[in-house]
Structures are given as structure tokens and as C-alpha cells.
């Protein structure tokens, strides 16, 4: 059978265009993904209502009983705080019940030299000093570090300081006072705890903005998926290179 010029051109185009396969690895299980979005929603509500509590709205005309605006704001703040705390306890449980990637939020291999070398590579990648990023099934080392420091350690600080302040309202002998009331006399006064809690809100808020930016940036520029991974659970790779 003779080969036409069109067949030769088609074969040439096929050879000139590199074939890249999209491989996938199942990384984040459904309970972890649900926790992620519940946690994101509760942090958003806590940040907005927390800012309004620290910067109250102007007084409204008429009877206070007709409005109760700050009361509702505080209620949503406290409700979101309970959701955040319950989700954190569940996330700690899932670190043991889930797969190996579920443990990353509570473990940090800082003793490995390779971890710090890869972390520096990611710093250079985000600073536009590297030509391309590396592939990771779970979090890359830089994201891993920030997740542990901000979400795990920062989340614990926010819960302890928040419930310590809440214990002033529930009173002596309440479970909030028994579990967290020790913090205020330890540091001297509740205003100091309030300042720590307020600063913590801004640290987490800045982290969330950077987290959203880097997730979108990685989906566009890197060799693997990010946003869709936290929806489907599958890490998609865009090429076959290591």
C-alpha cells in the first residue's frame, strides 16, 4: 500500500508533538476534604465576626432589644468557634485513621536534610528563581511547614485563648473555666490574652490569602493539580517526567 504525502505529514506531526500522559494518585480521602472546607468556612466566619467584635458597629437608633446586632455577631463567632474546635479534634483522629497523607498536618520531618533542601527549592520557585517546580503527592515542603505552624500550632493557640476569654462569660466552675481558665492568671490579665487572640486572627487571615494565591498559581504554573485535588481527592500530574 502506497504512502501518501498527507500520511507522511501526519506522521511527522505525530512525532514532533510530545505525548504527555496525565497520571493521577488518590491523595486526600473524603473525610479530610470535608474537614478542609468546613474548616475554611469556620475560619472565614470567625475572622469576619472577630473583626466586628474588635471594631463594633455604630449604635443603632431605637431600643436595643429591636436590633441585638452585636449579640448575633457574637453568637455566630462562638458557634463557628465550636465548629472549628470539633473539626480540629476530628482532624486529629483522622491523622491516625486516614492514609499517610492525613498525618502531614501533625508531623514535620525537620530532621531530614532533604526536607530543608526541597523547602529552599520551593522558596526559590515561588520567588520565580526556579524554572519549574518539583512533583509531590501531598504538600510540598514549604506548604507542609506553613500548614503545621499556622493551622496546627496556630489553631491550638486560637482555641486556647478563645475559650479562655469565653470562660469569663460562662463563669467559675464551667468546663471552659476548668479547661482554659488557667491561661488568664498565667499571663496576668485577659486583655493580654485578647491581644494574642486578635493578632492570631490576622496571622491566619494573611495565611489564608497567601494559601489561596499559591493554590491558584500552582494550578496554572506547576506540573500537578491543587484546587481540584481538594475537591476530588486525586492529584493529577501533567507530564511523565520525575
Mean pLDDT per 10-residue interval, the chain, length 242 residues = 54 54 85 96 96 86 77 94 97 95 93 93 93 89 95 96 93 90 90 94 95 91 88 88 72
User: Which conformational region is residue 64 in: left (phi greater than 0), alpha (psi within -120 to 50 degrees), or beta?
Assistant: alpha
142: cell is 514549604
229: cell is 485535588
Confidence (pLDDT) at 30: 96
What CA dihedral angle connects 113, 119, 121 and 126, to 10 degrees? -170
Cα-to-chain-centroid distance, residue 5: 56
Confidence (pLDDT) at 165: 94
pTM of the predicted model, to two decimals? 0.84
φ/ψ (deg, to 5) at 234:
-100, 130
Confidence (pLDDT) at 106: 95
Confidence (pLDDT) at 1: 46
- In whole angstroms, how far apart are CA 38 and each of 20, 43, 88, 200? 36, 9, 10, 19
Q: How many angstroms separate the CA atoms of 123 and 148, rounded?
A: 17
Amino acid at each position: 500500500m502506497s504512502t501518501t504525502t498527507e500520511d507522511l505529514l501526519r506522521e511527522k506531526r505525530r512525532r514532533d508533538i510530545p505525548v504527555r500522559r496525565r497520571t493521577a494518585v488518590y491523595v486526600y480521602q473524603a473525610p479530610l476534604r470535608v474537614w478542609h472546607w468546613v474548616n475554611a468556612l469556620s475560619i472565614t466566619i470567625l475572622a469576619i465576626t472577630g473583626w466586628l467584635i474588635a471594631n463594633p458597629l455604630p449604635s443603632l437608633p431605637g431600643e436595643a432589644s429591636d436590633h441585638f446586632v452585636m449579640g448575633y455577631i457574637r453568637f455566630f463567632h462562638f458557634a463557628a468557634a465550636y465548629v472549628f474546635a470539633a473539626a480540629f479534634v476530628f482532624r486529629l483522629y483522622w491523622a491516625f485513621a486516614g492514609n499517610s497523607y492525613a498525618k502531614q498536618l501533625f508531623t514535620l520531618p525537620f530532621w531530614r536534610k532533604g526536607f530543608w533542601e526541597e523547602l529552599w527549592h520551593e522558596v526559590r520557585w515561588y520567588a520565580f528563581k526556579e524554572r519549574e517546580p518539583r512533583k509531590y503527592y501531598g504538600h510540598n515542603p514549604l506548604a507542609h511547614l506553613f500548614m503545621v505552624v499556622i493551622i496546627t500550632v496556630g489553631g491550638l493557640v486560637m482555641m486556647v485563648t478563645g475559650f479562655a476569654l469565653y470562660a469569663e462569660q460562662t463563669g467559675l466552675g464551667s468546663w471552659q473555666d476548668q479547661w482554659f481558665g488557667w491561661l488568664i492568671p498565667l499571663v496576668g490579665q485577659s486583655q493580654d490574652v485578647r491581644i494574642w487572640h486578635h493578632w492570631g486572627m490576622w496571622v491566619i487571615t494573611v495565611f489564608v490569602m497567601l494559601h489561596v494565591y499559591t493554590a491558584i498559581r500552582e494550578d496554572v504554573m506547576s506540573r500537578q493539580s491543587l484546587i481540584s485535588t481538594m475537591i476530588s481527592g486525586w492529584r493529577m500530574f501533567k507530564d511523565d517526567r520525575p
